[in-house]
Structure 1
Amino acid sequence: MASEEGVPVDLYIYDLTHGLASFLSPAILGRQIEGVWHTAIVVYEREYFYGGSGITSCAPGSTSLGAPQQVEKLGTTFVPFQIFNDYIQGLGTTTYAGSAYHLLDHNCNHFSDEVAQFLCGARVPKHIVSQAERDLPPPLRLALTSMLEQMVPDGTQAVYANGVRHSRQDSPDYLTLNNQIEEARIASQELDARRNTIAEKLAKKERKKEKKRKKQRDHDGTGDAEENEMAEAVEAVEAREPVSLAGPSSRDLDVEDEERKAEEQRKRSRDPPVVYKDIDGVQEFETLSKTLEGVDLSAEEKQSLDELQQYLVQGEGSWVLGDDFLSFIGRVLSDPDIKSEARCAALRCLAASALREDVSLLLHQDRRQHAILGYANGIDALPPEEQLALALFMCNLFENTSSSEWCLYISEWEYRGQPLSNIRVTTKVCVSCTLSPQTELRECGTALMYNIACKEVKTVVFDEVCVELAMAALQLTQWAPAEEHLWRTLTALARLAQHSSEVPQLIAIVGPDPAAYRGTSARVDEQIDLIMKKLK
């Protein structure tokens, strides 16, 4: 999983012709091109690329192309490695299968551009991705293709012959397992060598001690205690694991991983999210299938429904959800000819999926169409049943770190001519449900507000929505809600007051006075104390 500091994402840029294109292009093409660019994404200490053999990876810079001509830092990713690996597996069997490769129109640069967007929202320089369209009119493309085939007969296949291929027939954990096996093999060899050395030294010392003990026994017969003491010391030394000078041992890595998990658990124990785990994914899928009976689904949409069954019912990884899946969800959510019951069932299926960590792969794919958040932005116009199913989905996204961070992205995107961002849509759903007169919607709304406010993120995120969330919380507080909803609301206010200096001012000016609710419960009083400290 990606660390809290994130993982760097780099773009390696190569000239496939090693300068020959610049030299020969004037004579062959009638104009000069500086190079024929090949790119690869370097992340998680691997170099990922696309060619005629499909998606492959290797150690950074270990190809026959040598060192990259240029390295461009694209940014930092917080996408967990397993999610990224599932994403690569999915691309390798769909859009970027080996059979889909084309030297000019669908190549390594298009792959790098798409992966860069997925990882950190960055793009490959436009002059690289659009080189064919920019430099070559259609009649000259054939000439360049012929020239490249002469310069690089096997395309990129020969370059990456020793890499690891990524396709569906490989287990999603193949790359991780491959790396772990290699690391374990090296560590085992080092460990055996050190143990042999220590064993030889201990054996030599033991022989010397045994001679001394024998003399002592012969002299006064009192060597038994010393013998036992020495035996215990030898056992203690033998039990120690030697320190590897070549890097962290497998035990060190295990300890580090346990510490990371403990830290994550500590955060969750302090402010565990409010999620709804009682939702039955199998039952929700059956409901969706029944409500779609009679709907004229295309072959692609039927395939997407089958993929959802594999993911939700059969427990397959999110890599089974193809490129058309979100188009299918988008139609269910937006087609007026499809019943509202189907939309509710689809959203509840998503709510069940949100409890799985690999749902992040699906969420990141939605950056192209914004099918889910575009629909969510219109929550005010939805029937109450759809609002509830949508809010349930949004709450459950806070079960895992990566999906909760997706809810709070601040980067803007355009939907039907309107600038939006993930955090603004999430906030709109939260406020709408929190201030709803319906108890069930208020239940999910206060849960979502609590989840958002208790999320440990940079202050800049809350700068976007702090005031809006605080105003909604204060308005609900005026209605004297039930203890559970009051506690969530005051907890959110206490956290928001820590993030923004404007929130304490709002509480003091707008009211009501939090102290008026003292005595409701011990945990409510605790949050009131935190708020009052900020009001002083």
Structure 2
Amino acid sequence: MADLENIGVTVELHVYDLTKGLAASLSQMLLGKHLDGVWHTGIVAYGREYFFGSGGVQSVRPSGTVLGQPDRIVNLGDTFIPYEVFLDYVLGLGDSTFRSDDYDLFRHNCNTFSNEVSQFLCGTEIPKYIIDLPQEILNTPLGAAIQPLLDSLGGNSRRSTSVLNPSADLGILSFLAPPVQPSYLQQQQQVEPPARELELNTQELCRTNRVSFIEPNNEEQSHKKEKKKKRKKEGHRSRKQGSSMADSESQNGSDEVIEAPAETKEKSGRDAEKSVAEFEEQERQEAEAKKKQREPPIIFKDLVDLQAEFDGLVDLIAGVLTPEEQQSMEELHQYMLEDEGSWALGDSFLNFVGRILHDKSLKSEARVKLLHILAVAALKDDVILMLHQDRREHILMNFAQDIDRVPLEEQLSLTLFFANLFENLSSSEWLLYISEWQYCNNTLSNIRVTTKVAVNSLLSENTTLQDRGSAILHNLACKEVFDDVAVELTMALLQYFNSNPPEENLYRCMKALHRFCQISAQDVPQLVQMIGPEPSKFKGTSERLDLLITEINRKLR
């Protein structure tokens, strides 16, 4: 075991040229200085690629962005830091020095992040030519000319909504890139990246030593509804930044607009759409393959009348919402009833959820209906983006921590939500996160709260809660939980076995016990032998249970 712990994890730097070779051919003419490329970087370790942009710290599978394969791969060395330690470190960066609003195109970008993480993991910096590139650009005549503009737009170019939005989420200035239509990355989460979609909105052109911008045309604005339908069909998750970019340009006095030829824009649009479609299809196929490989979760798909629950919620909170909360209700309608992507949910949506869940002046029925709606949302593959909005306030998990203090109907709706979160890999992983926070003098984490919800439900006197608790516990057992979680859940199982469970619940729980015997091969069997009851007590209940009991008894010997 000691030898295994001494095996290092390879750390690589993936380097992408955002200009796809144009910097090398045009930089001398435009900047008066030759550049080999305009670099975006990501750190690849523990099976994921980590990077920083105006959406915060994010991760995808290696080479999983629309940039495709890296132009260069730099081996940074091996790290012996445990994954759990690294995960907490990355989450800490996302909550401190690398928050989304700390992004700065030139001074605090993707390469700044890669350099810091590289030093943490391997004690080495990334190549100097990457770190020094922003200052090299600023030292050119064009760089000096545009620096005041960058400083005046959007607070030192910190947000992707700035009029000058040169692939801001991917780091360094990419004004040399050809104009493309917006593309969008699909999130994958096996860690806790902040939930923001990666957007590529490189719309500016350069001519001589002047920078000018392409404004969305009137025809594009007038066909907004047509675009909306098209996004639904193709699965895009856009943020609809076009109009805000145009407004920002107007306010900041952009006095020249250079339109690309119609044929060029049309071809660029087709190429971008094709690229997005291919990428999303690849992601979909990978997700389907992972689903087939895992044990199917137990979820509850058809228990909620979504339209009735939404209408009921509207009636219950009519007249008590602020204008901002009314907007969040509209966003919820778009997401759930109009089947828009989770991009429809604004930054204040979780504050609205928190108001409903924690404002005790509202009727309990309002919380029940909201949780029912969220239980349906949990089945959507992009619900993870909403969940990641809650990484700072922990509104959902703080409410769930008090499951034993809320009325039965709220407990039932909450367990429905938790069970359905196991439908998708990313949201099920979210339930297992170990990052800690303080709430009412308790140290909590997602996995601790999830465990409490499972145990409280399983040991309830209500049979419906027991049914949903056994489902959550079964789903947890199919995940890679830690030994201490397996032990705690086993103790709840053994207590439940002292009752008279129905065969379906008993089967789920026995499957979980079998799995926990594998996860904690010493402690769990000892618990069963010390506390009981022996699994053999249920021999003869059903054939499938007998097979499981035989397997568990082998672990107990």
Give the equivalent residue in structure 1 for 2:496: 476
Q: Does 1:308 align with 2:308?
A: no
Q: Which amino acid aligns with 1:397?
A: L
Q: Which amino acid aligns with 1:426?
A: T
Query: Which of residues 265, 281, 289 in structure 1 aligns to 2:314?
Result: 289
Q: Does 1:320 align with 2:320?
A: no
Give the equivalent residue in structure 2 for 1:264: 291
Question: CA 1:184–1:302 in 2, change beyond 3 Å: closer, same or farther?
Answer: closer
Q: Which amino acid aligns with 1:468?
A: E
Give the equivalent residue in structure 1 for 2:410: 386
Structure 2 counterpart SS, 1:366? helix
Larger displacement relative to structure 2 (369-378 or 153-162)? 153-162
Q: Which amino acid aligns with 2:338?
A: Q
Q: CA separation in 2, counterparts of 1:276 and 1:471? A: 26
Q: Does 1:160 align with 2:177?
A: no
Query: Which of residues 385, 388, 391 in structure 2 aligns to 1:367?
Result: 391
Contact 2:42 2:49 in 1 (8 A): no
Give the equivalent residue in structure 1 for 2:530: 509
Structure (1 or 2) with the greater helix fraction: 1
Give the equivalent residue in structure 2 for 1:197: none
Q: Does 1:277 align with 2:304?
A: no
Give the CA deviation at 1:485.
1.3
Q: CA separation in 1, counterparts of 2:307 and 2:11? A: 38
Give the CA deviation at 1:462.
2.3
Contact 2:53 2:103 in 1 (8 A): no
Give the equivalent residue in structure 2 for 1:411: 435
Give the CA deviation at 1:365.
1.2
Give the CA deviation at 1:404.
0.6
Instruction: For residues 249-290 of structure 1, give each alpha carbon's deviation from its aligned partner in whole angstroms, at most 9, with x where no partner exists.
Output: x9xx999986873453142xxx32111101232222112112
Question: CA 1:7–1:325 in 2, change beyond 3 Å: closer, same or farther?
Answer: farther
Structure label with greater radius of gyration: 1
Q: CA separation in 2, counterparts of 1:179 and 1:105? A: 26
What are the ranges of 5 or more consecutive residues in structure 2 without an aligned counterpart?
1-8, 18-38, 56-64, 85-98, 115-119, 122-141, 151-156, 158-163, 167-172, 183-198, 202-223, 239-268
Question: CA 1:409–1:181 in 2, change beyond 3 Å: closer, same or farther?
Answer: same
Instruction: For residues 13-48 of structure 1, give each alpha carbon's deviation from its aligned partner in whole angstroms, at most 9, with x where no partner exists.
Output: 99xxxxxxxxxxxxxxxxxxxxxxx98767899987
Query: Which of residues 392, 400, 408 in structure 1 aligns to 2:424?
Result: 400
Q: Which amino acid aligns with 2:408?
A: P
Q: Which amino acid aligns with 1:378?
A: D
Q: Percent identity?
A: 40
Larger displacement relative to structure 2 (513-522 or 277-286)? 277-286
Give the equivalent residue in structure 1 for 2:545: 524
Question: CA 1:40–1:298 in 2, change beyond 3 Å: closer, same or farther?
Answer: farther
Give the equivalent residue in structure 2 for 1:91: none
Structure 1 counterpart SS, 2:476? helix
Instruction: For residues 476-532 of structure 1, give each alpha carbon's deviation from its aligned partner in whole angstroms, at most 9, with x where no partner exists.
Output: 011121111111111111111110021111111100011111110111112211211
Q: CA separation in 1, counterparts of 2:277 and 2:427? A: 32
Question: CA 1:378–1:45 in 2, change beyond 3 Å: closer, same or farther?
Answer: closer
Aligned residues: CA RMSD: 4.8
Give the CA deviation at 1:173.
3.5
Give the equivalent residue in structure 1 for 2:510: 490
Contact 1:11 1:42 in 2 (8 A): yes
Question: CA 1:60–1:289 in 2, change beyond 3 Å: closer, same or farther?
Answer: same
Larger displacement relative to structure 2 (337-346 or 39-48)? 39-48
Q: TM-score, length-normalised on structure 2?
A: 0.57
Give the CA deviation at 1:533.
1.0
Give the CA deviation at 1:351.
0.3
Q: CA separation in 1, counterparts of 2:297 and 2:50? A: 34
Structure 1 counterpart SS, 2:391? coil
Q: Which amino acid aligns with 1:265?
A: K
Q: CA separation in 1, counterparts of 2:113 and 2:312? A: 35
Structure 2 counterpart SS, 1:437? coil
Give the equivalent residue in structure 1 for 2:236: 173
Q: CA separation in 2, counterparts of 1:111 and 1:285? A: 41
Structure 2 counterpart SS, 1:414? strand
Give the equivalent residue in structure 1 for 2:482: 462
Contact 1:377 1:428 in 2 (8 A): yes
Q: CA separation in 2, counterparts of 1:390 and 1:9? A: 41
Structure 1 counterpart SS, 2:443? strand
Q: CA separation in 2, counterparts of 1:285 and 1:259? A: 33
Q: Which amino acid aligns with 1:284?
A: E
Q: CA separation in 1, counterparts of 2:466 and 2:330? A: 34
Alignment of 1:175-254 (within 5 A): 178=271, 181=274
Q: Which amino acid aligns with 2:310?
A: F
Give the CA deviation at 1:59.
7.0
Structure 1 counterpart SS, 2:482? helix
Q: CA separation in 2, counterparts of 1:339 and 1:114? A: 48
Aligned residues: 378
Give the CA deviation at 1:474.
0.5
Structure 2 counterpart SS, 1:465? helix
Q: TM-score, length-normalised on structure 1?
A: 0.59
Contact 2:379 2:423 in 1 (8 A): yes
Contact 1:377 1:425 in 2 (8 A): yes
Instruction: For residues 379-410 of structure 1, give each alpha carbon's deviation from its aligned partner in whole angstroms, at most 9, with x where no partner exists.
Output: 11111111111001000001111111111112
